[in-house]
Chains A and B, each alone.
Chain A
Amino acid sequence: MKLKQHGFWDDVKKYRSLLLMLTPAVLFFLLFAYVPMAGIVLAFKQFNYSGGIFGSPWNGLDNFKFFFGSGDAWRVTRNTALYNIAFIVVNNVLQIFAAIMLFEVAGKWFRKLTQTVLFLPYFISWVVVGAIAYNLFNFDVGTINVMLKGLGMEPVDIYNTSAYWPIILVVVSAWKTLGYGSIMYLAAITSIDTEMYEAAEIDGANIFQRIMKITIPNLMPTVIILVLLAIGNIFRGDFGMFYNMVGNNGLLFSSTDVIDTFVFRSLTTSNEIGMSAAAGFYQSLLGFVTIMLANYAVRKYDKDRALF
């Protein structure tokens, strides 16, 4: 603490009402974020309930050895990263496409209506999405199988076939985020200077040339920032999505298990507290490193847009 003309306590006194106003938030983040960070020691402990987080005996790297030795570590890491990469690519391409179309289509009524409908899935909970998925994919009465049978084809047992799930999850993710993302991109497009379009028009550019040469290049900064931020979260799975779509269906784990569902399961079902803490720590570290790298990349690209 630097001591200038007045000391630390003078500042405390000067800002006492502001500090008081910050107190609830500080307490909240201490309790729900910082104290649990100290709980990382659990990853190096043999947890028992009587000892609690700090009283349980140490067991060195055993939890990590167990986690990495089980063969689950590689599978869940790979799944988490691959799903997120697929989500980033598919979702952003679709969202940008939808945003450009929403901007270019002339009918105001039509534009409003489609925008409203596209935004709809964003509002419902993953539980409801799970119910919708059941409606579609159920073996006996699911709509897809009804249609297949109607076409004279064999029904497919979707809930027991892991190969379908990467596609299903990518589609569902696109479905749920399409409206939200396209509105963010639409906001970016509407802030593009319209004079550029007018000038291009006078120069004889057709609409596709204008989209390719003006809209998309002007959208790139937004795209890059959003994508880099998403990359920073590449090791965080959307637990709500995976859990409600797949649940504890072990038949599908080879293609659907992500770090978050793995940690949840080892905590609640198999009660492997030490190992799930180790897996959670591993996830936090991976996340921290990728966020740092992504932020470094943003800084290189555009200093003002970096997170810190």
Chain B
Amino acid sequence: MSSTTANIQTTKVRRKRGNTDRLVLSIIGYFTLTVLAVFCIIPFILVVSSSLSEESTIIEKGFQLIPSNFSMEAYSLLFKFPADMLRAYSVTISVTLIGTVVGLFLTSMTAYVLSRRDFKWRGRFSFFFFFTTLFSGGLVPWYLMIINYLHLKDTLLVLILPMLMNVFYIIVMKSFMSSIPDAITESAKIDGAGDFRIFMQLIVPLSKPALATIGLFIALAYWNDWYNALLFISKSELMPLQYYLYKMLGNMDGMRKAMMASGAVVTTNIPTESLKMAMTVVATGPILLAYPFIQKYFVQGLTIGAVKG
């Protein structure tokens, strides 16, 4: 990336002068960035430590940054009756997998056609897709279309289909593919390869960075989705993770009942507050663990896609 070379060069400039203004800026920079970083991470620490606190301490002293009475009770309770949580996990994982693979395939295939300079109607089709970002029928007709005409209510498909493609991703992918030299397509054509074969065997392997980035964006959107479930899912066995969390946060009584139904728990002693936080941790865990590895791709993707030219 060109940013690293730029950084190295500025560091060189920096070293040449050890002025006071540089020192002042460093102090401001280190200070404000530290403050902002603390501001960004403290809420996470609060949630984790609350999930590890004893319920009685929370009731008495409230949520605290460092648990004064360490307890794994909430987690052990959560994992004692894991059926609901595991089901929600499996819904989210399958939706994310299917949605990402299919969505990425369709997005890149569409983007490829639109990137082909010799395709006569590319402008028209581009506008056909782009126009949907300018104007829409609004929530109500969209909702009725899915419920009354496509009959997708309470199906796994309703969690996948509406988010399958996104114009922004198509545009980012198209601008990446436009930078692949035409000569590659041309020579393959002369060798007799069809358009689809050119796409699969030449363009896809060459587009790996863009595919990784957009794939991650799509996967993250599916993983974090709860809105489609809120609108279209009423069956508990189809609830994705985030929606399950949403439901449980708002409805601890329902949780209590579910736990009673699934096994003998003394109902009065359920640690509601720490349990809410433990569920939040469990629902967030995988994405946060994957985050450090994913992050660099996001950074790359943002630099490719967002700030062109």
Binding site for B on A (CB under 8 A): 11, 15, 17-18, 20-22, 24-26, 28-29, 31-40, 42, 49, 52-53, 94, 97-98, 101-107, 110, 113-121, 123-128, 130-132, 134-136, 138, 140-143, 145-146, 149, 175, 178-180, 183-184, 186-188, 190-192, 194, 197-198, 201, 206-208, 222, 239-240, 243-244, 247, 260, 263-264, 267-268, 273, 276-277, 279-281, 283-284, 287-288, 291-292, 304-305, 307-308
User: Within residues 275 to 309 of chain B, which ones have a CB less than 8 A from any CB in chain A?
Assistant: 276-277, 280, 283-284, 287-288, 291-292, 294-295, 298-299, 302-303, 306-307, 309
- Distance in angstroms from A36 CB to nearest chain B CB is 3
Q: Which of A36, A130, A175, A180 contacts B249 (CB 8 A)?
A: A130
Q: Which of A20, A32, A142, A276 contacts B162 (CB 8 A)?
A: A32
- Mind listing 28 A-B residue pairs with CB under 8 Å? A15-B119, A17-B196, A18-B113, A36-B137, A39-B144, A52-B144, A53-B144, A53-B148, A98-B33, A104-B25, A117-B37, A126-B226, A131-B249, A132-B47, A135-B43, A135-B63, A138-B63, A146-B64, A187-B3, A191-B6, A197-B10, A267-B143, A276-B140, A280-B140, A280-B141, A284-B136, A287-B134, A291-B134
Q: Which of A25, A49, A260 contacts B106 (CB 8 A)?
A: A25
Binary contact readout B235-262 vs A (1 if CB under 8 angstroms, 0 otherwise)? 0000000110110011000000000000
Q: Does A22 contact B37, Cβ atoms closer than 8 Å?
A: no
| Stretch among B74-82, B122-130, B205-213 lining the A interface | B122-130
Question: Given A36-B136, A146-B63, 9 more contacts at CB 8 Å?
Answer: A20-B196, A119-B298, A125-B226, A128-B283, A130-B249, A131-B280, A187-B306, A208-B21, A284-B137
**At the interface, yes or no: B151 with Cβ under 8 Å from chain A?**
no
Chain B residues in 8 Å Cβ range of A179: 40
> Please, how many angstroms separate the alpha-carbon atoms of A288 and B135 in the complex?
6
Q: Does B33 contact A102, Cβ atoms closer than 8 Å?
A: yes
Number of chain B residues close to chain A: CB under 8 A:
111
Q: Does B6 contact A190, Cβ atoms closer than 8 Å?
A: yes
Chain A residues in 8 Å Cβ range of B140: 39, 42, 263, 267, 273, 276-277, 280
Chain A residues in 8 Å Cβ range of B26: 104-106
Main secondary structure of the interface of A (DSSP, over half): helix
Q: Which of B32, B170, B307 contacts A97 (CB 8 A)?
A: B32
Chain B residues in 8 Å Cβ range of A15: 119-121
> Please, how many angstroms separate the alpha-carbon atoms of A31 and B161 in the complex?
10
Chain B residues in 8 Å Cβ range of A115: 299
Chain A residues in 8 Å Cβ range of B303: 183, 187
**At the interface, yes or no: B145 with Cβ under 8 Å from chain A?**
yes
From A143, which residue of chain B is reached at the shortest CB distance?
B63
Work out how many contacts link A and B, with CB atoms closer than 8 A: 304
**At the interface, yes or no: B164 with Cβ under 8 Å from chain A?**
yes
Q: Does A142 contact B63, Cβ atoms closer than 8 Å?
A: yes
Q: Does A114 contact B36, Cβ atoms closer than 8 Å?
A: yes
From B44, which residue of chain A is reached at the shortest CB distance?
A120
User: Within residues 187 to 225 of chain B, which ones have a CB less than 8 A from any CB in chain A?
Assistant: 194-196, 199, 220, 223-225
Chain A residues in 8 Å Cβ range of B17: 201
Q: Does A143 contact B46, Cβ atoms closer than 8 Å?
A: yes
Question: Which residue among A29, A94, A146, A180 has the maximum number of chain B CB atoms within 10 Å of its CB?
Answer: A29
Chain B residues in 8 Å Cβ range of A146: 61-64
Q: Does B50 contact A175, Cβ atoms closer than 8 Å?
A: no
Q: Which of A21, A98, A125 contacts B199 (CB 8 A)?
A: A21
From B20, which residue of chain A is reached at the shortest CB distance?
A206
